[in-house]
Structure 1
Amino acid sequence: MNQNNNPLEIAKQFVDQLYAFRDNYFIDCGNASNVSQPLKSNDSKQIQVNHKLREVLSRLDELSVAYSEWTASDRALYELQRGRALNISDKESDGLEAKEALSRAVKLRPELSEAWNQLGEQFRKRGDYSSALNCFESALKHEMNKISLRNASMVLRQLGTTPEEKNSNLLKSVERAKKALECDVCDGISWYILGNAYLTLFFKSQTKRDESILKLCKAAYLKAYNDEKATNQTDFLFNYATVCHFDLDFERALNCLQRAITIDPEWEEPLDKQTGLTAYLKDMCSMIDKLASLKSRRIKLLIDSLNKDSKLKIYDKKKFVEIKGLEIGTNQSTDLICKEFFACYKTGPVFQHFCLQMRSFRVIDYIAKVFCVEN
């Protein structure tokens, strides 16, 4: 096929522009600078994307007038672009048409890894994770590439019927994500996928939770956070905000949520989470203020209750010292008796806690008497 005005190259450009329109929709529409202003119904992102899709499909039809004269290889490339365009839609009919086009593409050119990836994405959207994984693995048989590896990592986390199978697939998910980074260690999206794999392994593993896995997750997310392409992914920003919240890095959590809201104000979850986190922090500030206002009589009663605790009788002959009498660093053979107040918050799948430690308690060997207040 003549390279001048190559219809396949033009088709690819049309589809690339369609995806760019979707990915930069709110920024290009000027909504990113004013997220507090509600969008009009006719500004709905998906409606506009679907409208743009119709225009692109019409252009693709115009380019395919000589389809019957093309080689099998060229027809496969055309079907790839048509299926790729249809994959952007949320309509069932478009999904079926995308599946048909992409199936034709891989039959005409089985080594076309991008077509396998797009077909796998269509299966994934339908919840057929086994078929999706087969597509990504088929792509990898012909070409080791980061997109297939990342996609395989994602769907593996959805597979498995027994606890053993699920745990095995979680480990495989991490390995696929690592291999994706071997293809391109600077790819922020691959770091994000690896972070997701670690995060899922941390929370869903059938074995005891390993804090080192959470550290690996945070390290991977931080790598992604420093990549401009990744920070334009609202799902990454939301997930990273969740991890930062869990890690009590509230400032970064709020920054991530605000950026997610800016990029896609139609997605309600980041705004809901931002509202909840802001309320949580206000409650913490209120508790701190109340603690600071405790009267000396109340503090004395708390200390006296420690002295009356029968479990502490073994320390009757020990020497008591004030906190100010402790040395900086490790105090050998010294424990702390204190009372702590915890506020427990149910935030999604985990409980967050905030400790308000009482002041000026006497110190001996470490025993803490804890009172929990559930909010």
Structure 2
Amino acid sequence: MIGAMSRQNHVNKEEEGGSDLMRKATEAADDLYRMRDTYFPSDSNDKTYKLQTQSQIALNLLDSIPPEERKLPTQRATYEYLKGKILDVFPEYSKKAEDHLSKAVKLNPSLADAWLCLGNCIWKKGDLTATRNCFTLALSKGPNKKILSQLSMLERRMAQGKKHCLFNHVYHDFEFCFLYVCSLSCLLTFSCLSLGADNQEEIVAESIKHAKEAIALDVKDGNSWYNLGNACLTCFFVTGAWDHSKLQQSLKAYQNAEKDESMKLNPDLYFNCATVNSYLENYERALSGFEAAASIDPCLNATEEVEKMINLFDKLDNLLKGQIKAKRLASLTSSLSEVQLNPSYRRATIDNLLDGLNKKIAVVGKVLFFIKHENITPLYYLVCDSNQICFVLTVYGISNDAIKEGDQITLLDPSFHNNGFSWNEKHYEFRSVRVDFLEQVHVNGKPVPPRHSVRSSIFAQHKP
């Protein structure tokens, strides 16, 4: 009897030892992914080396579990899952990782985390349908905020279909980055390709739905809020880049994400929030956001975004302070008061406008300069109204050959903003009017032809 009890105690100790090693291997895998998501050295090769080193340590720890402690199907499934997860920590697709994760779900189909990891692994080789199947199967095991967020992200990727346009600006996602684009590039001029899936809007609506479901499971989870922000930003472009309420929803979601301490080391959150602020022309907040992103991850192009913006503002400042002779301005603007307007619109000058949308108001002006800068959108012009007051015109959704220097333009329902902010001890101040659609501007007395309309798209790719 005593001998039997001793043998049982010995078996229990061995089981405890095996489970302890499995627990340590699980913690090592979690630490590996934490490093992937929060370690951003100035040299990306340092990160690759560290991931390789730490992944090998984690694999060695996993393989130190005695074979007899991974005989049961559930034990073997956990072992295969952890091995596949560790091997899949790199951005490149790994056939070995897929093989181990596939074994894990066959041995234990109830292992939701293994289905999630398998889906992420398959995503890297471009099989989006199989990826969705994995996420759906994972979700069938029970509500899970991580799975819902990944499914939401995948749906945004599926919405683009197979065709896309060349990109310029970037907004980043949690393992994948999304690039919003226009059909005109400062490097190349080309025709915009079709926007992908026919049911884009429906798929993105599903993406938003799943993002909200993730938040409902844990309203304090920053990553779920971050994911919703990305979904709303995608929706803004997919639906024609006109509904600014989607941008405001995206901005609010990012701000909620920032309340979670675990998101403080996510540079993409600050980058994306800055991108939205830039598009909304909240320039000071955009600059601060890009600077915060750069301080966390020097390898992001956030510093370059700050430099581009400051270079542009310096150009605007120099032009606005430049000495254009009064006689020259008087000559350029002399005919503006004679421009005939639609009777339903009231004529105004830039100093009569209120901040925000000015409905049923028309401002007539002369284009003095087209201001070249390093980004595709928006287009910037220096314009002078009939009172010889100069202001900045920002143009979205219209090609750069629709409005030229010397053109007389009529701005309908102008969206006005009085900009004033400081950066690095330099103060910038200028008045601006924003144009988002062809219908908001007439050039030389005529509506802008539809061929000048430019629509944005989304292109997703694996983050390097």
CA drift at 1:297: 2.2
Match of 1:317 in 2: none
The one-letter code sitting in structure 2 at the alignment partner of 1:132 is T
Tell me the amino acid that sits aligned with residue 219 of structure 1.
K
Match of 1:126 in 2: 125
Q: Which amino acid aligns with 2:123?
A: R
| Matching residue of 1:295 | 325
Q: Letter of the aligned partner of 1:271 in structure 2?
A: T
Which of the numbers 123, 144, 164 marks the counterpart of 2:198?
164
- For the 8 Å contact 1:194–1:217, the answer to whether it is kept is yes
2:233 to 180, 188, 199: 199
Aligned to 2:35: 21
TM alignment of 1:170-249, pairs within 5 A: 170-205=204-239, 209-249=242-282
Q: Which residue of 1 aligns with 2:154?
A: 155
Amino acid at match of 1:14: A
Report deviation, 1:143: 1.1
8 Å CA contact retained: 1:11, 1:63: no
CA distance in structure 1 between the partners assigned to 2:116 and 2:51 by the alignment = 21
**1:343, CA displacement in angstroms?**
4.8
Equivalent AA in structure 2 for residue 196 of structure 1: N
Does structure 1 retain, via aligned residues, the 8 Å contact 2:211–2:228? yes
Cα displacement (A) at 1:91: 5.0
Matched, 1:283 2:318: no
**Contact kept? 2:78, 2:104, Cα under 8 Å:** yes
* Cα offset, 1:147, TM superposition: 0.7
Query: Does the aligned pair in 1 maintain the 2:132–2:154 contact within 8 Å?
Result: yes
3-state SS, counterpart of residue 164 of structure 1: coil
Return the offset for 1:146: 0.7
Aligned residue for 1:34? none
Q: CA deviation at 1:258?
A: 2.1
After superposition, the C-alpha distances for 1:282-326 in whole angstroms (9 at most, x for unaligned) are 222222222xx333323432442324x3537x9xxxxx99999x7
Helix, strand or coil for the counterpart of 2:54? helix
Q: How many equivalent residue pairs?
A: 343
Please tell me whether the aligned partners of residues 277 and 283 of structure 2 are also in contact (alpha carbons under 8 angstroms): yes
Any conservation in 1 of the 2:80–2:103 contact (CA below 8 Å)? yes
Q: Is the 8 A contact 2:336 2:386 kept in 1?
A: no
Q: Which moved more, 1:168-177 or 1:74-83?
A: 74-83
Q: In 2 relative to 1, CA 86–284 (structure 1 residues): closer, same or farther, beyond 3 Å? A: same
CA contact (8 A) 1:117 1:136 kept: yes
Contact 1:322–1:361 at 8 Å: present in 2 too? no
Matching residue of 1:50: 52
CA distance in 2, matches of 1:199, 1:328: 27
- Cα deviation digits, residues 164-201 of structure 1 (max 9, x gap): 33222111111111111111111111111111111111
Q: Does 1:311 align with 2:340?
A: yes
Residue 35 (structure 1) aligns with? none
Deviation at 1:151, TM superposition (A): 0.5
* Native 8 Å contact 1:11 1:60 kept in 2: yes
Return the alpha-carbon distance in structure 1 between the equivalents of residues 339 and 286 of structure 2: 44
Matched residues in 1 for 2:325 and 2:304: separation? 37
Give the Cα separation in 2 of the matches to 1:321 and 1:153.
46
TM-score by length of 1: 0.77
SS in structure 2 of the partner of residue 142 of structure 1: coil
1:342–1:371 Cα contact (<8 Å) kept: no
- Write out per-residue CA displacement over residues 16-72 of structure 1, whole angstroms, 9 at most, x where no aligned residue: 22223333434xxxx6xxxxxx64x8x621122112211221121112443443x22
**Given the alignment of the two structures, is residue 261 of structure 1 paired with residue 322 of structure 2, yes or no?**
no
User: Quick one: distance in 1 between partners of 2:306 and 2:65?
Assistant: 47
SS in 2 for 1:185: coil
Deviations 1:78-109 (A, max 9, x none): 222222111112455xx111111111111122
Q: Distance in 1 between matches of 2:350 and 2:232?
A: 41
Where relative contact order (Cα < 8 A, 6+ residues apart) is larger, the structure is 2
Tell me the TM-score normalized by structure 2.
0.64
Aligned partners of 1:342, 1:223: CA distance in 2, in Å?
40
Partner of residue 271, structure 1: 303
Cα distance change of structure 1 residues 153 and 349 upon mapping to structure 2, 3 Å threshold: farther
Q: Distance in 2 between matches of 1:214 and 1:68?
A: 50
Task: Mark the CA change 1:78 to 1:323 in structure 2 (over 3 Å): closer, same or farther.
Answer: closer
